[in-house]
Structure 1
């Protein structure tokens, strides 16, 4: 498995490119809700080169009454100026207010919009205890980015209805560049990462 981190504006002091030598990939928060753009994208320009495996994620806010389409549009437009040809795309959806069918429908609409705009199937980020909520997204072939803060990988039973997990966030307390960040594993090789990102490899 590949090792990486995911970051947002809370980790904006990551400035030393040498620290990246210990990582295989970096996932950056790009947007939130219908209008917000995350300043962690500045990290892309300052330290990431074209050879670094990377990804972008959107933090969904259906709890604010936003439509999935408006949020997906914000996400897609926020990454247009960056080289996202080889980037994995993901939706971080942690809403507890919507019913299971409504949340799944919201996420599916988001996924379909992004797919129509980019040609990429997104990953759904959620805890292993919430994976069951995304049956339609699993059927649409979205990947699962499973949060399970443990040394033990997510099990098949925990990630149903997904067949496998694409990524696994195992801790939010990984020491990197002088601070604590989220640490992740990609369940595959660099070649598989690029294929997942839609690269022609």
Structure 2
């Protein structure tokens, strides 16, 4: 990976904080989501599934993305990575071409690479070195296409198992940590803290409950670049 920033620089945008901002994430499993209702209930951001692998486009992405924009939510897309089907670079291109891009408009989050347990094999049949290479190809291509490093969604267990707890991404890619507990717990891969924490799978308006590690001004900075 080409390292273009340091943790000290990233701290301008992502800091360990006692402030938290409510958000959530959804996919086609939730259908059309009441984004205005979620905003009224206190949510300020949503992350919406856009793509999976190099062929699947979420059929609800556009409608939910537009609804989120209309409701005043800061929003972004995520890509469910499938290292068993297409290179990291090709999947990043597919993601950007189908809703996962970024613009510095203050309301668009950098795209998220969702990299986690495979449907039939935890690590998609890849050894540690091959998995790290696949993720590297994805994040480098995403940065090349958009000018932003993507966030990485994962769990401590998966990251440790499938990347050997690789720390080379923590200097550039914000961590979107899934940890269903009362606290985020152990950070994987050299990340000193999470930028977003997915803390349960039952948000009132559908999907999963998320918390941004900071205040609304910090969330706006994340969307601005």
TM-score when normalising by structure 1: 0.85
What is the match of residue 173 of structure 1?
202
Instruction: Give 1:90's aligned residue.
Output: 112
Q: Identify which of 93, 96, 117 aligns with 1:73.
A: 93
Alignment correspondent of 2:59: 39
- Where structure 1 has 5 or more consecutive residues not aligned to the other structure, the ranges are none
**1:12 paired to 2:31:** yes
1:15 shift after superposition? 3.4
Counterparts in 2 of 1:50 and 1:93: CA distance versus 1, 3 Å: same
Q: Answer whether contact 2:76 2:100 (CA < 8 A) is retained.
A: no
Match of 2:158?
Answer: 130
In structure 2, the gaps of 5 or more residues are 1-19
Q: Could you tell me how far apart the structure 2 residues matched to 1:184 and 1:44 are?
A: 17
| Alpha-carbon distance in 2 for matches of 1:26, 1:76 | 18
Partner of 1:110: 138
The count of corresponding residues between Structure 1 and Structure 2 is 192
- The 3 A distance-change label for structure 1 pair 81 and 137 is closer
Residue correspondence of structure 1 range 16-35 to structure 2 within 5 A: 17-22=36-41, 23-35=43-55
Deviations 1:16-49 (A, max 9, x none): 6233222111100111111211123121223532
Partner of 2:5: none
Q: Normalising by the residue count of structure 2, what TM-score does the alignment of the two structures yield?
A: 0.77
Kindly indicate which of the two structures has a greater share of residues assigned to strand.
1
Flag the structure with more relative contact order, 1 or 2, with Cα contacts below 8 A and sequence separation at least 6: 2
Post-superposition offset of 1:110: 0.6
Are positions 1:185 and 2:208 aligned together?
no
